[in-house]
A = this chain, B = another copy of it.
């Protein structure tokens, strides 16, 4: 509510009426601020630790954008990033990860204010949180300050911020010791965290601070005047910046055009011509390597693409050959114009920092980890979706096909999880053209994040795949007008299904067609006629994907999957153990054809009685 009230005072499109509709259906003032809904909200926060980590991402984006575009006489990109956080955020591991990263990266323009009020939902923080927070931030390499009387010492706060700005090579945390609900009868207790104050308490608070206790939702004109004056100063600064940017355009034409384009979120024209394409005769390649080839091919054309990994660079294949690390120059291993992020083993903060980087508006972040460990980042991945950020998760080692690392690392539930998440594209490409298609959609979808599930093991190039077909999310890989069954599959299992077609024909006299569904979310959005051409009426369909079958009932009558944990071993042996072989698929296809032979009419599973709410 403080954010909404301030936005109102500063003249953003948040009216008194909007404030009155706080936490009401279809208002622009939901219970926690959402960047997509409310003018002036920069990132979607509420889930603890996310906002802090978003701030680190915004500061990374600022440092990078400044390093790329600032020139002598043109300090175009010089903003500070401010963030308020409380004890709850300070306890969350994601914020620890982000703070450690910010200290390492020496993000001098980041100023975080720690509202040290000793209270969390469970009451006095003494019950769970007795560490020395400033000492911890010092250990991370932050500049630390303490304002002891945050309730009254406004000069102290201003002085601390001024001091923070002087330190250029460290982020600053200002510990502000405060009283929660200052002025209320319940001040200093958890009772003022989420509940409205009682009527008599509101009255005495208003009196205490010189307001008329009988009036509600009233802002004195002098308060509006004060805030509007500041807002006008901001607007004037924006005008000045616009002039500076115009002048910049005369001296640095290409850079000017690049920055102006980035702010529209459009990609450079013709970039898609750089996407690699493959012929059936090309070698079998792991899709993590195919992803690397895409990055290699497009990184020069798309300068806003910033790749990185949570300490799995060599496994995720996220780094193009001549990449420079994004690093503080003093370390001697990169600089702030570098486009490769070393996130460390910090998956959750990586995701939340990428949300912040994307929100800044000049960057498209892509970050790698094993698919199984995208789950470590689930809290932030959810917010990529909810806040419409174009963030790309490069999720390699996507199944039991990773082999030896075993069940602790083999995803079973992961794709079902993220397919159930609204506004998320989950891609599981089957070959090179499908991998290029996944990147095409991930990069051109301005307000939808993507997870690219990629293999460790090699995949043959399919006979009939093209980028154009695959960007529909699903298409027919092998047609047969007389087919008895459609095999619906993704990723590494598509090629095994194609083998199974031969087994079915040769040994069982059953004819099969094969559909590849690299992205069910994109497929769902196609016209119904098209979808029914891929998974038609009258032919039974069986899905084949080497993980949880949950959700595949939507695209098939029967499902072959893995509803148990995997096994450690060489990947082909693991596939054999679970019968993900042409024979294993054929056996189940035979049972499926037999089971459905008497059903009339046999409708495609895509034919539904009513439309879902979306």
Contact = CB atoms under 8 A, between A and B. Distances in A.
Interface of A: 23-27, 30-32, 34, 44-49, 87-89, 91-97, 100-101, 103-104, 120-122, 126-133, 135-136, 138-141, 190, 309, 311-315, 325, 327, 331, 333, 342-346, 348-349, 372-373, 375-376, 378-379, 382-383, 385-386, 403-409, 412-413, 416-423, 548-551, 553-554, 557-565, 567-570, 573-574, 577-579, 587-588, 591-592, 594-596, 598-601, 603, 605, 608-610, 612-614
A53 to B, nearest CB: 10
13 contacts: A26-B577, A30-B408, A31-B568, A87-B345, A120-B345, A122-B311, A126-B333, A136-B136, A375-B379, A416-B419, A422-B564, A550-B550, A558-B608
Contact of A567 (B25, B407, B420): B25
A7 to B, nearest CB: 16
Contact of A386 (B128, B565, B600): B565
A346 B93 contact: yes
A139 B131 contact: yes
Nearest to A21: B569
A504 to B, nearest CB: 15
Given A91-B97, A345-B91, A417-B416, A596 B613 contact: no
Contacts of A92: 93, 97, 345-346, 376
Contacts of A409: 31-32, 46-47
B93 A94 contact: yes
A349 B128 CA distance: 13
A97 B91 CA distance: 7
A404 B127 CA distance: 28
A405 B94 CA distance: 21
A413 to B, nearest CB: 4
Contacts of A612: 549, 559, 561, 563
A520 to B, nearest CB: 10
Nearest to A387: B408
A605 B574 CA distance: 30
B140 A131 contact: yes
Contact of A24 (B140, B564, B568): B568
Contacts of A385: 565
A416 to B, nearest CB: 4
A413 B406 contact: no
Contacts of A135: 135, 138-139
B325 A127 contact: yes
Nearest to A607: B595
Contacts of A45: 408
Given A139-B132, A349-B93, A24 B101 contact: no
Contacts of A408: 30-32, 34, 44-47, 383, 386
A569 B600 CA distance: 45
B551 A416 contact: yes
B562 A613 contact: yes
Given A378-B417, A413-B422, 14 more contacts: A23-B569, A27-B568, A32-B406, A93-B96, A126-B331, A128-B344, A131-B139, A135-B135, A135-B138, A378-B378, A416-B420, A420-B550, A557-B609, A591-B610
Contact of A122 (B313, B563, B579): B313
A140 B134 CA distance: 11
**Copies of the polypeptide in the assembly:** 2
A139 B563 CA distance: 44
Contact of A131 (B103, B131, B190): B103
Among the interface residues A93, A315, A418, A599, which one has the most CB atoms of the partner chain B within 10 A? A93
Nearest to A98: B93
Nearest to A140: B131
A227 B577 CA distance: 36
List 5 A-B pairs, minimum CB-CB distance, nearest first: A93-B93, A553-B553, A25-B569, A30-B568, A595-B609
A223 B313 CA distance: 39
Contacts of A44: 408
A554 B605 CA distance: 12
A360 to B, nearest CB: 20
Contacts of A25: 567-570, 573-574, 577
A327 to B, nearest CB: 7
A24 B571 CA distance: 10
Contacts of A315: 121
A324 to B, nearest CB: 12
A449 to B, nearest CB: 13
Nearest to A557: B609
A106 B104 CA distance: 29
Contacts of A379: 373, 375-376
A139 B423 CA distance: 40
A163 to B, nearest CB: 22
B569 A592 contact: no
Contacts of A372: 47
Given A23-B568, A563-B612, A309 B122 contact: yes
A403 to B, nearest CB: 8
A179 B601 CA distance: 69
A87 B135 CA distance: 20
Contacts of A419: 416, 550
A129 B100 CA distance: 7
Contact of A407 (B325, B331, B386, B570): B386
A600 B407 CA distance: 42
Given A139-B133, A420-B548, A599-B601, A382 B126 contact: no
Contacts of A100: 91, 129, 131
B311 A120 contact: yes
